[in-house]
Amino acid sequence: MRGFGIHSSIWTMRWTPEAAEAAVAEALRHGFDFIEVALLDPPIVDAAHSSALFDRAGISAVCSLGLPETHWPSRHPDKGIEFLTVALDKTAAMGAKALTGVTYGGIGERSGLPPTEAELSNVARCLEAAAKHAKRLGIAFGIEPVNRYETHLINTGWQAAAMLDRVGADNIFIHLDTYHMNIEEKGAANGILSARDHLRYIHLSESDRGTPGHGTCDWDEIFAALAAIGFKGGLAMESFINMPPELAWGLSVWRPVADSTEQVIGEGLPFLRGKARQYGLI
């Protein structure tokens, strides 16, 4: 997980063979080093096709997801383990390097209360089992803190670090996201510093999830902090143009946040690359 990547949601949320071909072709056209596959429905993915596609294109891949409500680890840890086991198997079969995202719960999971000790204990048990399975498969496993409107469980870098310390597995990493950090952290640098010992991946997403450089994220603070900790992980663009209804409700994306995919990539990627060069990250 090195260099610049892009989340496949900018083109598709269903990783069918046809969608995969189109998304990888676009990622290559724009010069990305890797693609992050939205693995929301693992059984529909043709792993052999994806593996051959990545090899042929010479591009790396990472998978990410949020769990369906029927398998939320906070309530159903055994079902969570079951879902993540299938997703990890599919990730490995695709030749992807890692599975990450809201692997500890669902997008839109809110109880209306702070997380309970029982919920966190269930989550930790699920993550421990998933980490062990990921290790057997030789792939990395990550967790992504997201904002309070998408989950009540893990919202900040320090909460993610506390969960990893609790689980105790040496192959789990933290995956930060600048959109969520802009809401939850007391300054992006503090979030990065809190997660620094485990940070291997970051979503570069604007404050409105639109075109990077066109919002209120403090990109100089973000890149300076990444440089200060010697960050060597994946830098992934994540912007949502149009969302399917089943995800829009969880992400609270109700309107297009940019004029086009070409605007997001054509303006956002050069901006982010420029910042990365400025701070010596590439």
Residues serving a catalytic function are 144, 238
Phi/psi for 237 (5° steps) reads -75, 135
Stretch (H or E) spanning 256: none
Q: What is the DSSP letter of 42?
A: G
Instruction: Give the residue ranges of DSSP H helices in 138-187.
Output: 157-167, 178-184
Which position has the token pair 């693995």?
39
Torsion region of 169: left, alpha or beta (phi above 0 gives left; psi -120 to 50 gives alpha): beta
In sign, the C-alpha dihedral spanning 254, 4, 183, 88 is positive
Distance CA 31, CA 102 (A): 27
How would you classify residue 136: left for phi > 0, otherwise alpha for psi between -120 and 50, otherwise beta?
alpha
How many whole angstroms separate alpha carbon 195 and alpha carbon 158?
6
- Report the length, in residues, of the chain: 282
Residues 129, 131, 135, 138, CA torsion sign: positive
